[in-house]
Amino acid sequence: MRFQVLGPLEAFTADGHPIALGPRRQRAVVARLLLAGGRVVPADRLVEDLWSDSISSGASGLLQSNISLLRRVLEPDRPPRAPAKVLVSAAPGYALRIQPGDLDSWLFEQEVRQAEESGLARAPGQAVTLLDRALARWQGPAYSEVAAEEWAGPEVVRLDELRAHARQLRAMGLLASGRAAAAAAELEVLVAESPLREESWRLLALALYRSGRQGDALSVLRRARDVLVAELGVDPGPRLRETEVAVLAQDPALDHAAMLFGQAEGRGLANLADSDIGGIARATEPSEHVGQPQRRPDISRSRMKNPGIDDPRSVPRLIGRDGELGTLLDAAQMIASSGSRGAALISGEPGIGKSALVSVLAAELEARGWLVSWGRCPEAEGSPALWPWAQVMTTLDPLVPRSREEWEVLRLGASTTQFHVHRALSGYLARVAETRPLLVVLEDLNRADEATLAALRDLAADRQPAAVFVAGTYRSAEMSEELAETCSTLARQEATRIDLAGLAAADVAVLVRLTCAEVDAEDRADDRSVAAIAARADGNPFYARETARLLASEGVLVATSEVPAGAADVIRRRVARLPAVARNVLRTFAALGREGEVSVLVRAEQHQADEVYDALEIAVVTGLLEEPAPGRVRFAHALVMDTIYGDLPKLRRARLHFRIAEAMEELRPADVGALAHHFAEAATLGCADQAVRYCRAAAVQAEQRFAFRSAVALWARALAVHLLDPRGDRRVRAELLRERARAEQLAGLSQSARESRAEAIRAAEVTGDRALTAAAITAIDTPMMWNNRTHGQTDVAHVELIRRTLAGLPDGESELRARLLATLALEAAIWHDPVGASAAAEEAVALARGLGDASVLAVALNARYYVNRVPGQYDLVLEIGAELMELGRRERLPGVEALGLLSSSSALLARADVDGASALVEAARELAGRYDLREAAALAGLATAAIQRMQGDEAEAVRGFAKVAADATEAEMWDIYGTMTVVRVIHLYQQGRLAEADPEIQQLADGYPDAARPLLAVRAAMDGRPEAVELLREEPAFDYLWLLMQAFRADAAVILGVRDVAEQIYAQLSPYRDCICGGETISMILGPVAECMARLAVLLGKDPADDWRQALKVAQRARAPRWEARARAALQEN
């Protein structure tokens, strides 16, 4: 049986007879399975992909019906009830089992690969024959019937790219065979279809030259330069430039094989494994020679421009900032001299001169031989994560091309880990700086996404030697949590900090006079007008300059009348002087964002294209806009955009956003972030469905780039837009709530995640769909060490809901069932139904192993760990922890690996293996820092601080506990209040100052009555209060706090002299005499269990020596000096 997808979908029997695959939807099922390459496609995914326009409870039945019909067609002779051999069922879905030779796209790839391996230089004729056979397989566009579907897009793009690559190889083969004219004809078509392929332009020029058409070859090279500059804003790459030089010189090497093949042959199909799925990534495509050995280009005279300052003469003159500039230049000199990294942060109010300062810094350093690259954080919502770094790499790549590995990791849209992205970025910048020191300017960090800031933090912390200086600017009044964390991190790295204040009045006067002089209006800057402007500007250079421009243009009237009240009024006055068309275009552009493409603006505008171009030219000439690159415009200052946009009525804003969204949907369909923003802003005009669709796509993209907080905002926006339609699909609302909850959990906002999940469950229950309800219940089943709920409390109604949902779950929902069982185990846990919870966890693990899904297995193992997190189960916890570690490493799930490390460390710490626990905690801390795992970082910080306190390093322990408390409270990771309160109470208890902890003990009693009861018993016993005995006799729950609580009960029993309770506790503690009280918690650590038993032994009339000796062993193993001192003193007394 054979299948053809290089054109209309067709199937044939082994003897060549066509197979009728049926109607459109049936054929789409075949296409979707073929696209999976023999892998299993889950049934849910098939339904979602193929019935996305009408997903309902009957969609699964429709899928099954199509599968049955296709099986009859594909295997007509299969006996009834015999298992299918072609279209097979395999959990959790279906697969097409065919051989590689049975699919034309596979054969095509194999033949192209064979052509490459045969060696174009050695046997060009053979290679051309193979390529002819491969290209003849194409009967039309790949997967033509489904090419427009989102799930088919990446493969279609990949195959199209491979086809273009094969055609290019064929042209090379023709050239190598001496058939230059035929090659030229082929390449003319290829460059027309793919004008951004530099190698095709180069080969065309070479073919024309070898055909005796030197003039045409030069013309082609000029066309290539024009296309690259117009489309990408970049000059041709080194090989294209070398070819142009050779043609001009009539270099004999043009006829040699080395000029033809150079570094192109052998690039291979590996370079085509992933399509460019970022849309915007076109601007960062690798050059033709990426990944090949190459001569480092001479960058000694290269200049990377500030996108807003094309002409070096337009660098602003700096007034009143000599001290700040000197500080930055000194920092740069130190970096250049030492070859070490450094950073500077420049902050201040809008218009205060941050951009002017870094522009002058850049110009000064370029004059000293530095290389400079710029990245700006976009003003508009929805821009991709890491976009400023992409801008930096785009400008540097022509000078120092990225290696293939760097290109794959740093490509926008790539699915890779944060650690690998940061490591590749840091390594690439270090490589760039090998020849000359490098200044990277990042502007508007107050607008930066979390991924951009995380990369900046890691870059600053990298100790790899490299003369890289990163200067960032931000508005001091717009500090996000992530930016505050970044500033704190850079401060620890001794970054230079500059907070720009207003200019002195004398400096403002100089600025006003210079601005007037630029347009030959010095006579209008009389003392009275200058003094008035200086007084009202309050030191803000932008305000002063804009007002001076009004003074210069409008003359004495402005100089003698009241100066406008603020910068916004100045801007309004300047805009009002423009023609009506220019004002309209600026309003549309203000809705588009701080910077944008002219083509999008032209398409969105209702004016003729020439009118738009004229309007933009006027705005540039008057200084309201800049041209950062060909085909792009940018507001000269964010205040200009803010003022124009702020003056728009809401309805007009919505209309403008809608027109922009329609234009972008046509011109930039892959820019889902921007589309989400513009459609969401226009949602009141009836495009809510489009807004929700793009918000979903942008949220998924953000999650793939580890920008989880950005994803939370996008899911929340999708939900808000959906709620605008009172007739909106209730299922969609439930799904959006579920996804928001999941993103919040990934972002470390656990409390918010639980609240969103509760909303999602309520919304799902209204639909009556059990599977949807189950999905909502399991929305936040991300593996974690500490479940985010109040200790000792169970939401019984939620547990019963899970059980009802499990009972009503349809057959075949194995993954959902496994996740539900794991959630049931976590919710019922120790305090409600420990036996049932344990059984649910074991069943979840068994189901997960059968599914073969790593993420489901991690969830199930997490539940199994949680229900066994009690004294005496240390071996099992270590076993589970080892499996989690191995699973996390194998499947590249760093959160799962960290969970395995920390859970294992809790068991080791309980057993007093402090060195072993410390090693695992340190590994978890390193992993958490590498992948920004906030919960794991906090838990590792808790454990480290607890161990430091145990081993006598009190100062470090206090600092560690304080940092964890601040970080965890901000991130909502768990009930940090209760944990830190118990830590403080234990500390006072060990110092004999428990009475000072009465306020904390009472607070614990109010919020955690079960956990606080033993502490209340101790305090009551100390004070001789009558309720002490009653409190003592209430036994604590057998959970991870049990040993700690028993230690407090033991001391209360000793104080009160209650022998029967003392006897009972002594017997209960005996199996754990070599353990540490509170070790399982990794934070609330009290001391050796044997020490508690020794004090009980005295009351019971037993010899405590053995217990004290055991306590001494535990103290020595833990290297805990205070514990050891107490044990030795007690042994000496005995």
Instruction: Render 858-871 in DSSP notation, one character per residue.
Output: HHHHHHHHHHT-ST
pLDDT digits (tens, 9 = 90+) for 408-440: 555 544 444 566 677 778 888 888 888 899 999
Choosing from 177, 201, 219, the residue where a domain stops is: 177
Residue 24 has pLDDT above 60, yes or no: yes
% of the chain surpassing 90 pLDDT: 31
Domain count, the chain: 5
Helix (H, G, I), strand (E, B) or coil at 13: coil
Domain range for 559: 505-574
Domain assignment present for residue 740? The answer is: no
Please tell me whether residues 245 and 379 are part of one structural domain: no
**pLDDT given at position 970:** 54
Residues 399 and 479 in one domain: yes
Give the mean pLDDT of 248-255.
Answer: 73
B/e letters for 27-44, b = 16+ CB within 10 Å, e = fewer, are bbbbbbbbbbeeebbebb
- The 3-class secondary structure across 32-45, one letter per residue, is HHHHCCCCCEEHHH
Residue 790, pLDDT score: 57
Distance CA 553, CA 402 (A): 49
pLDDT in tens, 136-162: 999 888 988 888 888 888 888 888 888
Q: Point out the least confidently predicted range of 72-86, 280-294, 371-385, 571-585.
A: 280-294
In degrees and rounded to multiples of 5, residue 51 shows phi and psi of -120, 30
Q: Among 573, 311, 333, which Cα is nearest to 439's?
A: 333
Which of 700, 680, 866 shows the shortest CA–CA distance to 788? 866
> Does 841 reside within a domain?
no
User: Does residue 363 share a domain with residue 438?
Assistant: yes
Give residue 746's pLDDT band: very low, low, confident or very high (50, 70, 90): confident
CB contact set of 684 (below 8 Å; sequence gap of 6+): 654, 724
Q: Cα 425 vs. chain centroid, distance in angstroms?
A: 15
Q: Say if residue 220 is in the same domain as residue 356.
A: no
Amino acid at 803: R
* Separation in Å, CA 905 to CA 89, 930, 987: 42, 19, 22
pLDDT tens digits, 914-924 = 999 999 999 99
Residue 363 and residue 256 share a domain: no
Point out the least confidently predicted range of 29-38, 105-114, 559-568, 876-885: 559-568
**HSE toward the beta carbon, residue 671, CA cutoff 13 A:** 26
- In this structure, the answer to whether residues 191 and 151 fall within a common structural domain is no
Q: C-alpha 490: how far from its chain's center?
A: 21
* Residue range 1105-1121: mean pLDDT, rounded: 95
Compute the distance between CA of residue 2 and CA of residue 31 in angstroms, rounded to an integer.
13
Question: Residue 267 CB: number of other CB atoms within 10 A?
Answer: 19
Cα diameter, the chain = 112
**1006 bridge partner residues:** none
- Taking the C-alpha atoms of residue 22 and residue 43, their distance in angstroms, rounded to an integer, is 20
Phi first, then psi: give them for residue 808, nearest 5 degrees: -100, 5
Q: Is the peptide bond before 92 cis (omega within 30 degrees of 0)?
A: yes
- Per the model's pLDDT, the better-predicted residue between 282 and 1128 turns out to be 1128
Using the predicted structure, report yes or no on whether residue 1100 has a pLDDT greater than 50. yes
- Which domain CATH number covers 209? 1.25.40.10
Token digits for 645?
A: 């946009």
Cα–Cα distance measured from residue 717 to residue 724, given in angstroms and rounded to the nearest whole number: 11
Look at residue 829 and give its three-state secondary structure: helix
Query: Between 759 and 426, where is the model more confident?
Result: 759
In a 10 Å sphere around its CB, with 0-12 CB exposed, 13-18 middle and 19+ buried, how is residue 253 labelled? exposed
Crossing angle between the packed helical segments 1059-1069 and 1042-1056, to the nearest 10 degrees: 150
Residue showing tokens 């330069």: 225
β-bridge pairing 93-96 and 87-90: antiparallel
**pLDDT top residue among 795 and 297:** 795
Query: pLDDT per residue over 82-125, tens digit each?
Result: 777 888 876 566 888 888 788 888 899 888 888 877 776 677 88
Contact 74, 86 (CB under 8 A): yes
| Band of residue 512 on the pLDDT scale cut at 50, 70, 90 | confident
Q: Does 188 lie in the same domain as 148?
A: no
**Tens-place pLDDT, residues 979-1013:** 788 888 888 888 888 888 888 888 888 877 887 89
Alpha-carbon distance of 416 to 410, in angstroms, equals 9
Tokens 């990426």 identify what position? 290
Residues 6+ apart with CB under 8 A from 756: 737, 738, 740, 741, 744, 779
Q: Is residue 443 left, alpha or beta, with left meaning phi > 0 and alpha meaning psi from -120 to 50?
A: beta
pTM of the model: 0.57
**Structural domain includes residue 1059:** yes
Task: Check residues 1066 and 796 and name the one with the higher pLDDT.
Answer: 1066
- Is residue 271 predicted with pLDDT exceeding 50? no
Ranges of beta strands (E only) in 18-158 are 18-19, 41-42, 87-90, 93-96
> What is the C-alpha separation between 963 and 372, in angstroms, rounded?
37
Per-residue pLDDT at 150? 81
Cβ(971)–Cβ(749) below 8 Å: yes
DSSP letters, 700-743, are: HHHHHTT-HHHHHHHHHHHHHHHTT-TT--HHHHHHHHHHHHHH
Domain boundary among 480, 499, 518: 499
Q: What pLDDT is attached to residue 305?
A: 42
Residue 49 located in a structural domain: yes
Confidence of residue 280 (pLDDT cuts 50, 70, 90): very low
Bin 652: left if φ > 0, else alpha if -120 < ψ < 50, else beta: alpha
In a domain, 632, yes or no: no
Per the domain annotation, does 447 fall within a domain?
yes
Residue 570 tokens read as 């100045």
Which one, of 612, 572, 578, lies nearest residue 592 by Cα?
612
Mean pLDDT of 614-635: 84
Read off the tokens for 457. Answer: 């933090």
Asked if pLDDT for residue 316 goes beyond 60, the answer is no
Least confident of 191-200, 815-824, 1050-1059: 191-200
Rounded to the nearest integer, the mean pLDDT of the chain is 82
Average pLDDT estimate for 653-672 = 93
Is 116 in the same domain as 27? yes
CA distance 271 to 740: 36
Q: What's the token pair of residue 19?
A: 């197979």
Closest CA to 808 of 765, 844, 869: 765
Q: Quick one: 121 and 201 in the same domain?
A: no
The reply to whether 398 and 451 lie within a common domain is yes
- Residue 803: inside a domain, yes or no? no
Q: Which two tokens stand for residue 844?
A: 């979840």
Distance of CA 123 to the CA centre of its chain: 47
DSSP result, 783-811 = --SS-SS-TT---HHHHHHHHHHHHHPPT
CATH number at residue 157: 1.10.10.10
pLDDT of residue 858: 94
Q: What is the mean pLDDT of residues 66-80?
A: 83
489 and 532 inside one domain: no
Are 590 and 604 contacting, i.e. CB atoms less than 8 angstroms apart? no
Q: Could you tell me the two tokens for 406?
A: 């760097």
Which of 143, 128, 228, 230 has its CA nearest to residue 186? 128
Mean per-residue pLDDT for 447-456?
A: 86
Final residue in a domain of this structure, among 266, 284, 301: 266
Answer whether 386's CB lies under 8 Å from 412's CB: yes
List strand residue ranges (DSSP E) for 501-657, in order: 595-597, 625-629, 632-635
Residue 281 pLDDT more than 70? no
CATH number at residue 346: 3.40.50.300
User: Residue 1003 domain-assigned?
Assistant: no
Residue 273 has pLDDT above 50, yes or no: no
**Rounded CA gap, 636 and 588, in Å?**
16
Greater model confidence, 322 or 116: 322
Residue given tokens 């069932």 in the structure block: 817
Reply yes or no on whether the pLDDT at 296 is more than 50: no
Same domain, 25 and 70: yes
Which one-letter DSSP state was computed for residue 345?
E
